[in-house]
Structure 1
Amino acid sequence: MSVSEDQRLNLLQQASILDTPPTQEFDAIVRLACSMFDMPMALVSFVDGHRQWFKAEQGLFLKETPREHSFCSHIVETKSPLVVKNADKDSRFSGNTFVTERSVRFYAGVPLSEGETCYGSFCVLDTKNRRFGDRDLEQLRSLASVVVGLIREHRQQSLLREQQRELELKQARFEQTERSAKVGGFEMDLETGTIIWSDQIYRTVGLPVGKRMTSEEVIGCYAPEERESVRRRIRDVLDGSAAGIDREYRIMTPEGEERWVRVVSDIERLSGKPSRLFGIVQDVSEKVRYEQRLLQAANADPLTGLANRAAYNAHMERLTAAAAPSIGLLLIDVDRLKQVNDILGHATGDLLLKGVASRLDERLGKRGKVFRLGGDEFSVILDAPASVRRMGSLARHLIEYIGRPLEVGGSMIHPAITVGGAISEGEMDAATLSQNADFALYHAKETRRGSYVHYEPSLRSRIARRIQIVREVESALSEHRMVPHYQPVVGCADGQVWAFEALVRMQRSDGSIVSAAQFHEAFTDPSVAHHITTRMLEQVAADIRSWIDRGLEFGRVSLNISASDFMRGDLETRIVAAFASRGIPLDKLVLEVTETVFLQGLEDTVATTLQRLRKKGLTVALDDFGTGYASLTHLRSLPVDIIKVDKSFIDTMLVDESSLAIVELVLNLARKLDMKVTAEGVESHRQAMCLLEMGCTTLQGYLFGKPMGREHVGEYLCMPKTGVTENADRPQEELRRLLG
């Protein structure tokens, strides 16, 4: 049944919302809409008889405008969403105030409706033309449903405030004799114990009107946890030690329905002796339930339904304040959520979080309580006194259970979590316990992602050291003190320099040089690692340009790339920008990638990026081969041109048959796959001879040269080829001797 305009306006007035002051909830919705849709303007608009009035607005700084020619009026009339992509060309709205005075060109709005009644619209606006698809419109509808819920709550609050005002007015009018009125009133004769109730109280507690009540029957109306307090109150009234009260109680009807009442009572005294207890009873069930909904909303995560960070903080404070013995805390991080969001969309990411939350809650059971702290982080507070062994067992069980395949949004995902844990000691406060667990989680993510780490005091010093190193590296980056040093790679066929590997070094303010091994912790910071690579690309490209201009035959330069360089998706752009701007072909660059990149869940992204770069002439090397988890698998799936055998095998191959067998296996495999092999860490003539006999392609190590500054590369390449020395200052001659 449709609603006429007069009926609609009457219902709008009954909502008691027009011309009310701004509220945080409505203001937050319009700010959220602007953020979600990247729009400068948003409105919660109510359409009155001759105007549209804004309960909340962002970017317009108006309270109301004429209804004529308005977008929102059109929505009220049609009760349908409206999207206008070019308002100044639309004859319906070209005279709109927003179009003529605020240069609005784009509008998207949805109705604010309850049943058949449309109060107005929720909309976003822009001064330029925009695209707005079905998904955007659905999200706008979702926000509008929240606004409608706020309208209902506003109306309900208005009704509750009105009822409260009426009650307070009655309380002010009635003196002691008036408070014994039958409607909602009660009295108890303290001499005889006789109790009189009004009809309303009987209805409130769910008893037949007129039923004779005793004090014990009255007490029986209250919820079990309230009864002792009421019984004590009656005793205090009878012995003269009680005073009037004003408080709320939970009651239970005979049918088991839960209600809340507000009891306002006083004591009449005759000759200084209490003679009568009297007062009023107000059913405040609706108000209490509303407050409970607000409390639940404030303490519950809207996505997963779990308790949120506010509830977590309150729970921790209660436990530590009560000196609970050995509180166990697990902090849980969902791995690779960003990649899921980026590749499969945020909707799939949300489903993943809901799936993880459900599994955590299901598996934990009654052993504790799960909270979602925000983003990809959850926490578990254990109920029973905790022990290191039990926490470790539980954490590993959760890791295994959550890691089972999960179908979300039509995709099969293998969730993974990393867990850090801590146990309270002595009078440890909530903040310290949370920080300890956070240290453990942080360490787990940096060193053992996908596993569990329990807090130890030494973690603080390790993390403090890492933070200090990161700060030093950041300072060195800002002061241009991160520089490349170059180590030669020589070809086995002719002894000539085949390439140089660019190794990052940090130059301290005193001029001393620090190797990467001394600040390797900094590379675990994605931002720092990204900036180091960018700086190295720029400096390597500049050095290559200089060597080309000098006519030096240096072959090519290899550069190590970390997982962080692939995460942002801009590696190809950075490489091309650094080399193309200097006119350097990409066949002068070798990218070295280790297996740690694939442990971040980036194998497809890495493979795609490297394949595109190889088509532009770049060469790819798999570094530290043999030390990872699945090197052969990666050879099959990755676009690799060179295998670099890890130094650990070269060090031991002359004394350990298994190391020698592995080196031989890699060389045979490379020949069949048509790949080159570089042996790393060659430091002796015997190692070099052995590798040459096995057919190794290129050699790298201190035997042929240590990493050197850019200024020494030219000297190295131009060095006379006479004589042989143990420290291999003349590697080409030395290699010819070995070959000859």
Structure 2
Amino acid sequence: MSLTEDERLNLLYEASILDTPPTTEFDAIVRLACSMFDMPMALISFVDEHRQWFKARQGFPLKEAPREHSFCGHVVETGAPLVVEDASKDSRFYANTFVTSSSVQFYAGVPLSEGKTCYGSFCVLDTKIRRFGDRDIEQLYSLASVVVALIREHRQQSLLKEQQRELQLKQARFEQTERSAKVGGFEMDLNTGAIIWSDQIYRTVGLPIGKHMTSEEVIACYAPEERESVRGRIRDILNGSGTGIDKEYRIITPEGQERWIRVVSDIEHLQGEPRRLFGIVQDVSEKVRYEQRLLQAANADPLTGLANRAAYNAHMQRLAAADVQSIGLLLIDVDRLKQVNDILGHATGDLLLKGVASRLDERLGRRGKVFRLGGDEFCVILEGPASAGRMRSLARHLIEYIGRPLEVGGSTINPMITLGGAISECEMDAATLSQNADFALYHAKETRRGSYVQYKPSLRSTIAHRIQVVREVELALNEHRMVPHYQPLVRCADGQVWAFEALARMQRPDGSILPAAQFHEAFTDSSVSHHITTRMLERVATDIRTWMDRGLDFGRVGLNVCASDFMRGDLESRIVAAFTSRGIPFDKLVLEVTETVFLQGLEDTVATTLQRLRKKGLAVALDDFGTGYASLTHLRSLPVDIIKIDKSFIDTMLEDESSLAIVELVLNLARKLKMKVTAEGVETHRQAMCLLEMGCSTLQGYLFSKPMGGEHIGGYLSALKPPFMGNSEPWQKGLHRLG
């Protein structure tokens, strides 16, 4: 059953978002929408009774507009997406303010709905006629879901502020009570039931001074869990079997305030009969709260305020005692904390941990309990039945949410976390569950940092295999069997070699050669990866010197470097040592880095290192471009000379329009940014000709050559002819047009 318009408006007003100031998060969404759909305008529109008000807008001058004849009003009324490709010809909207005042021709919007509530719409607009397919609508819905989450968070923040104001009011009342006496006297006539209280007891329990009290009204002052025992005590006293007490109780005032009292009482007997109950009531709330704070301090992490390892152990014991089935455990490691501490200082590292803890706590809510186990490790115990799918979904969400840029100590860091998870099975004890999750986390850190691994028994064999591969690579490094093979990069302008990419190969004792894909597990070990780069630098520099001495025109050589090379802080000194000692100019080297290198939380450090190297003459290539989530940002902020389009797009561009569109986009973007572009994985003449027509700078792939040993470079260069010259008229025409 759908909501009435009045009900919808009430829920919109309760969200407390209308006429609020602009916020970074909402503004970022409209900018992202414009970028994604190549649109000049995007709006987050909330529709009330008479108007549409824009919480965020990009490329649009108005802050609000009438609801009548509006696109967004139509979306709210129908609860369905709306696409208007030519508004000037649509009788519903030709009188719309957007059309008449802002020349809007195209509109596409989806509802901002939470449950049955539609707050407004999320839309993109253009001043020209556009087409908008089902895939575009799906992407627009995805962005709208982020907006709805921001609305929900805004509403929760408003509620939290209201609760904080209420808490401050109650605290002020308590401070007034603290300044007065905290002990009052009472008595009860056991014959008549009459009760006499001093003024202070009324103040303590929060009742009007002098109010007539019955025994049931006295009992009602106590907290619900205390009332039955108090009622039984009064009954025993009236029956003559009761005795005096000295005990603490929790009470709830009529205002809902929680307090603790100490009751000390005795019974007066006359002629052997109980006649009067008398005693004192002391407000011991401050003492109890102090004890609670001490207990909390013993069970809370002092840096982040989260529950600590002691609390984690106690919580697991409670779950075990309660025989809870299917417990889910996530172990979370904050990556690169040591590098942050070493480079930016421990104060910044502490701020990073606090930021991660805050995001974990605010995102998990009631879904689980968060603990800091120590150092860079956190954990989450999932409440309720756990499933592998639920844990994977939660882990992906946490990786994305925590990975947002974080301002700490004057630096911007993209926090990265790695997670391992396990689920209790049958009668699995807490220690086994913890071991399994720890095992999964270990595997994730060693092989897939920044991702999530779910425990399964086969992980044992996987890790054993990885250890074996790492040992083989370490042995190959010690025996100088790690060698570079070179694959040419061919200029589109003339079909000649522009550069070679050095690819790591491992030579087995029998002489056979293994490509990097067959020992890729070794690169996850930072020490081994660092050693491989050092060995490759030495071998590449030696080969370059040999080719220079032979007078070979080989251009440049591209060398892949990884995150560990930057984190060690010695990449520049290793390059300088290898090249200077052999008299090689630095402009012979291209450093190839993948986007994952920039996503380690130390983007500024990476950028600074690359900038210094570029000043020495090196070029920088962004490898596997298009496979990461923030590549465009990196092109804007990082020192990059060359873009290498990932092979996955080249493989499918002739059959898949989206891949072709991405390739065209990258080429146009690079042209405007004055960057070179290399297409990786070119294997067919059709691919090469298509890239040539689009203006690609250089090509690389099996069409020109597989990777070869350094000793074959001379023969390859001397025998090289453009592979499409001769009988291929299209190639010749393409060459003529380019040059």
The TM-score, its normalising length taken from structure 1, stands at: 0.54
Q: Which amino acid is the alignment partner of residue 587 of structure 1?
A: D
1:624 matched to 2:624? The reply is yes
Q: Distance in 2 between matches of 1:441 and 1:559?
A: 31
Give 1:678 shift. 2.3
C-alpha deviation, 1:312, in angstroms: 4.0
Residues 1:487 and 1:731: Cα distance change in structure 2 (over 3 Å): farther
Q: Tell me the distance in 1 between the aligned counterparts of 2:716 and 2:404.
A: 55
In the alignment, structure 1 residue 337 sits paired with structure 2 residue 337: yes
Aligned equivalents of 1:429, 1:586: Cα separation in 2: 59
- The aligned runs of 1:522-601 (5 Å cut-off) are 522-601=522-601
Per the TM alignment, residue 634 of structure 1 is displaced from its structure 2 partner at its CA by 2.5
Q: 1:512 to 1:217 in 2, by over 3 A?
A: farther
Pairwise CA distance, 1:522: 2.3
Q: Is the 2:414–2:600 contact (alpha carbons within 8 Å) kept by the matching residues of 1?
A: no
Superposed, 1:154-165 pairs within 5 Å as: none
Cα distance change, pair 558–441 in 1 and its aligned pair in 2 (3 A): same
In structure 2, the residue matched to 1:699 is 699
Deviation of the 1:516 alpha carbon: 0.9
Contact 2:416–2:601 (CA<8 Å) still a contact in 1? Answer: no
In structure 2, what is the equivalent of residue 471 of structure 1? 471
Task: Note if contact 1:320-1:428 (Cα within 8 Å) is conserved in structure 2.
Answer: no
Say whether the 8 Å CA contact 2:466–2:521 is kept in structure 1: yes
The correspondence of residues 250-649 of structure 1 with structure 2, limited to 5 A, is 255=282, 301-304=301-304, 306-309=306-309, 312-313=312-313, 316=316, 324-357=324-357, 360=360, 369-382=369-382, 384=384, 386-388=386-388, 391=391, 409=409, 417-442=417-442, 453-649=453-649
1:541 deviates by 0.6
How far is 1:538 from its partner? 0.9
Could you tell me how far apart the structure 2 residues matched to 1:636 and 1:297 are? 46
Q: State the AA in 2 paired with 1:616.
A: K
CA drift of 1:453 comes to: 4.7
**Compared CA separation, residues 375 and 736, structure 1 to 2 (3 A):** farther
Distance in 1 between residues matched to 2:370 and 2:477, nearest whole Å: 41
Deviations 1:544-568 (A, max 9, x none): 1122223333222111122222222
1:674 correspondence with 2:664 = no
Tell me, yes or no, if the aligned pair for 1:492 and 1:735 is still in contact at 8 Å. Answer: no
Q: Give the deviation of 1:385 after TM superposition.
A: 5.0
* Structure 1: gaps of 5 or more residues: 1-213, 225-252, 259-288, 722-729
TM-superposed deviation, 1:413? 6.1
Alignment match, 2:235 = none
Q: Does the aligned pair in 2 maintain the 1:495–1:736 contact within 8 Å?
A: no
Q: Provide, for residues 16-40 of structure 1, a one-character-per-residue CA deviation record: whole Å limited to 9, x for no partner.
A: xxxxxxxxxxxxxxxxxxxxxxxxx
C-alpha displacement at 1:501, in angstroms?
A: 1.1
Counterpart contact for 1:494–1:736, Cα < 8 Å? no
Q: What's 1:687 paired with?
A: 687
Q: TM-score, normalised by structure 2?
A: 0.54
SS at match of 1:600: coil
| Structure 2 residue identity aligned to 1:502 | A
> Structure 1 residues 565, 408: CA separation in 2 closer, same or farther (over 3 Å shift)?
closer
3-state SS in 2 of match to 1:582: coil
Give CA deviations for 1:361-414 in whole Å, capped at 9, x if unaligned. 566677665432221111233455544465556656766775677665566766
Q: List runs of 5+ in structure 2 lacking aligned partners.
A: 1-239, 250-279, 286-290, 733-739
More displaced, 610-619 or 661-670? 661-670
Please say if residues 439 and 463 of structure 1, whose CA atoms lie closer than 8 Å, have aligned partners that are also in contact.
no
- SS at 2:495's partner residue? coil
Question: For the residues of structure 1 that align with 2:341 and 2:675, how far apart are their CA atoms?
Answer: 36
Q: SS at 1:433's partner residue?
A: helix
Offset at residue 599 of structure 1 (A) = 2.5
After TM superposition, give the deviation of residue 359 of structure 1 in Å.
5.4
What SS does the corresponding residue of 1:500 show, helix, strand or coil? strand
* Alpha-carbon separation, structure 1, partners of 2:662 and 2:461: 39
Q: Which amino acid in 2 is paired with 1:465? A: H
Cα shift readout 1:322-352 (whole Å, capped 9, x = no counterpart): 8653232121223453454345421122133
CA distance in 2, matches of 1:627, 1:330: 27
Give the Å deviation of 1:417.
4.0
Aligned positions of 1:658-669 closer than 5 A: 658-669=658-669
Mapping for residues 9-408 of structure 1, pairs under 5 Å: 217=243, 220-221=245-246, 255=282, 301-304=301-304, 306-309=306-309, 312-313=312-313, 316=316, 324-357=324-357, 360=360, 369-382=369-382, 384=384, 386-388=386-388, 391=391
Q: CA RMSD in A?
A: 4.1
Counterpart Cα distance in 2 of 1:497 and 1:655: 28
1:694–1:379 CA distance, 2 compared to 1 (3 A)? closer
SS at match of 2:682: coil
Give the counterpart letter for 1:543 in structure 2: D
Deviation, 1:222, is: 7.5
For residues 498 and 422 of structure 1, what CA distance do their matches in structure 2 show?
50
1:610 offset after TM fit, Å? 1.7
Q: Is the 8 A contact 2:414 2:602 kept in 1?
A: no
Residues 705 and 409 (structure 1 numbering): CA distance in 2 closer, same or farther, change over 3 Å? Answer: closer
Of the two, which has the highest radius of gyration?
Answer: 1
Q: Match for residue 195 of structure 2? A: none
Distance 2:395 2:722 in 1: 56
User: Partner amino acid for 2:637?
Assistant: S
Aligned to 1:712: 712
Aligned CA distance change for structure 1 residues 469 and 384 (closer, same or farther; 3 Å): same
Quote the Cα distance in structure 2 between the aligned partners of 1:406 and 1:492: 42
Instruction: Tell me the distance in 2 between the aligned counterparts of 1:395 and 1:495.
Output: 48
* 1:470 partner amino acid: V
Q: CA shift at 1:490, angstroms?
A: 2.5
Task: Report the secondary structure of 1:601's partner residue.
Answer: coil
Instruction: Tell me, yes or no, if the aligned pair for 1:495 and 1:733 is still in contact at 8 Å.
Output: yes
C-alpha change, 1:697 and 1:312, in structure 2 (3 Å) is: same
